[in-house]
Structures are given as C-alpha cells and as structure tokens.
C-alpha cells in the first residue's frame, strides 16, 4: 500500500480522512490509460472504514479529490465498480457520475468472475487547447493547495455509523 501511494502521488492525488489518528477513509485517482491522448483522464476510487460510514466521509473525500484534479487540469474521471454494489453506485450517481456501460465477466476474484460497471464524471470543462496536467508537487506549492485539500471537510459529519 505504501509503495502504491508513493507511486500514485507523483502525478495523482490520494486524500485521507484522519479522525483522532484513525484513518477512516481514503480516495485516490490513478492513470486511466497510458497513451498520450488520455492524459487528461483518471480513474477514481474511494473506501470508508465500516465503522465510519454514512457520515459524509466519502462525499467529503471525493469533493477534495475532484477539486484537486480540476486544479491540475484533469477533465474526465471514470469509476469502475464491481457489481453489485448499490452503496457505491448511489454514492457516485449522487456526486454526478453518469453510467456508461458494464464490462461482463472482466475480473476474477475470490473464486468467481465479476462484472464491472463504469461511471463517468466531467471534472472540469474540456479546454479547446489543453495543457498537460500539472504535476501534484507543483500544485502543492501553489497558495490554493490548502483550500483545495480542505474543500470537502465541511461535508463530513461527526459520529460513527
Ligand atoms: C461506498 C462507500 C465509499 C460510501 O461511503 P460513506 O462515507 O458511507 O458515504 P457518504 O456518507 O459520504 O454518503 C454519500 C452519499 O452516498 C450515497 N450512499 C452512501 N452509502 C449508501 C447506502 N448504504 N445506501 C444508499 N446510498 C448510500 C448516498 O447518496 C449518500 O448521500 P446522502 O448522505 O445525502 O444520502 C462505502 O460504503 C465503502 O467504503 N464501501 C466499500 C468500498 C466501496 O465499495 N468503494 C467504492 C469502490 S468504487
């Protein structure tokens, strides 16, 4: 996990919710495809500890994540959800993701083949002449960094589920 985070955060954000020293959830973006034409696209995912669900943590984490991605210049986010997962589908659609399609039997895990549904969110408007996305380290030196990182904090309610 440590290595995955280190490799991911060279280019893409990985935000963590910490409550009194306990990691309650995280959200991150990764590369969508390696070809240059897709450099403005990311895949995103979010996970919240079972004891801390239903208190807006996923919404808060994703709000900060998308604020950072938009500031970097990313345009499209895609979420692949192993089906069925009603909670994750509800979360993504509530945050504006629209369904694209389902890849049937694409992944083998825990002794079975699984379908993965794909959802899409426009993170920022498609520019006519896009510049390459800003490296994360450059944005972290920008005065707006703290505000972007904390964009979702006010959406997180206190308390356990
Ligand atoms: C899906 C998951 C991230 C939601 O986290 P969460 O912190 O409980 O979600 P939030 O409290 O921020 O909820 C935000 C919105 O998501 C939707 N949602 C979340 N949990 C839901 C549930 N159990 N049933 C229906 N809708 C739900 C609601 O629309 C909710 O908005 P509301 O509070 O205004 O009703 C969490 O259940 C989880 O980690 N699941 C396991 C991992 C996973 O499936 N991750 C997604 C992989 S793509």
Mean pLDDT of 77-85: 98
Indicate whether residue 17 lines ligand 1 (CB < 6 A).
Answer: no
High-pLDDT (> 70) share of the chain, %: 98
- Ligand 1 pocket, mutate which of 58, 82, 158 (most atoms under 8 A from CB): 58
Atom of ligand 1 nearest to the CA of 60: 12
* Atom 21 of ligand 1, nearest CA residue: 87
Reading across the β-sheet that carries 98-109, which strands appear in turn?
Answer: 14-19, 22-31, 41-48, 76-82, 112-122, 98-109
What is the topology classification, in CATH, of domain 2-75+123-155? Aminopeptidase (3.40.630)
d(CA 97, CA 123) in angstroms, rounded, equals 10
pLDDT, tens digit, 9 for 90 and up, residues 89-136: 999 999 999 999 999 999 999 999 999 999 999 999 999 999 999 999
Listed by start position, the domains of the chain span 2-75+123-155
Q: 117 CB under 6 A from ligand 1?
A: no
Residue 5 is predicted with a pLDDT of: 83
Across 8-28, average pLDDT? 94
> CA 125, CA 118: separation in Å to the nearest integer?
20
pLDDT at 159: 64
Evaluate: CB of 49 within 6 angstroms of ligand 1. no
Beta bridge partners of 41: 76
Instruction: Give the tokens for residue 136.
Output: 């994360």
Nearest-angstrom CA–CA distance, 12 and 112 = 31
Bigger pLDDT: 2 vs 126: 126
Q: Is the CB of 56 under 6 A from ligand 1?
A: yes
Residues 6+ apart with CB under 8 A from 35: none
Tokens 């910490």 belong to 18
Q: Ligand 1 atom closest to Cα of 59?
A: 12
């Amino acid at each position: 996990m440590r290595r995955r985070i280190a490799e991911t955060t060279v280019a893409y954000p990985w935000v963590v919710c910490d409550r009194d020293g306990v990691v309650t959830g995280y959200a991150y973006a990764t590369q969508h495809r390696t070809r240059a034409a897709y450099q403005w696209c990311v895949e995103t995912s979010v996970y919240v500890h079972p004891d801390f669900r239903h208190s807006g943590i996923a919404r808060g984490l994703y709000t900060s994540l998308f604020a950072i991605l938009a500031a970097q210049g990313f345009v499209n986010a895609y979420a692949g959800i192993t089906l069925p997962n009603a909670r994750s589908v509800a979360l993504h659609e509530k945050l504006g993701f629209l369904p694209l399609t389902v890849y049937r039997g694409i992944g083998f895990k825990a002794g079975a083949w699984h379908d993965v549904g794909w959802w899409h969110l426009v993170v920022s408007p498609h520019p006519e002449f896009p510049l390459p996305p800003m490296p994360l380290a450059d944005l972290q030196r920008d005065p707006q960094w703290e505000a972007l990182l904390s964009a979702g904090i006010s959406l997180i309610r206190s308390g356990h589920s």
